[in-house]
Amino acid sequence: MPRPTIPSRLLAVGVCSVVLGVAGCAGGSVIGLLEEEQMDEDILTIQTDLDGIDLASTRFLAGRDGVEYFAARPVGGSGTDDTVCLLVEEGIGVGLECAPLERGTAGATIRDSRVTAVLLPDDIDRNDLVDEGFELLHPNLAVRPAAAG
């Protein structure tokens, strides 16, 4: 019994649909959280000395030991389209680092005397980070003790 064949026109339509579907998924934000509506917890307590940060874009990532971590975008014109900022709010100040964030690659990093905090895109291999001694506080944030490097 011969195998049924798929007409070439149907095959072409199917292949195009798959290609378009994959291409459509390739765009968009590297941190989906930044596309969600800002909630009360996403607003920093300290909003001074944050020139260049779009305060409507801040999103809470995690908190630990009196330190809160946020992701944000710079105001239009002060960074590239792929620039994302990591903000660390502690006590009376906010630490801030902005850097390009690309799919699969760690982004902005802030080091202080206690921890190294790294901003992560949605699609990074988190297992590699855990192997390097990082702890995931949020899917988009990893920290490790400062003494670890």
Note the pLDDT tens digit of each residue in 22-59. Answer: 333 345 679 999 999 999 999 999 888 788 899 999 99
Q: Please report which helix (H) or strand (E) contains residue 64, including its range.
A: strand 59-64
Nearest Cα residue to 63 out of 38, 90, 86, 97: 90
Does the pTM exceed 0.85? no
**What's the pLDDT tens digit per position in 75-97?**
986 667 789 999 999 988 899 99
Give the start-to-end residue ranges of the domains of the chain: 29-148
pLDDT exceeds 50 at position 15: no
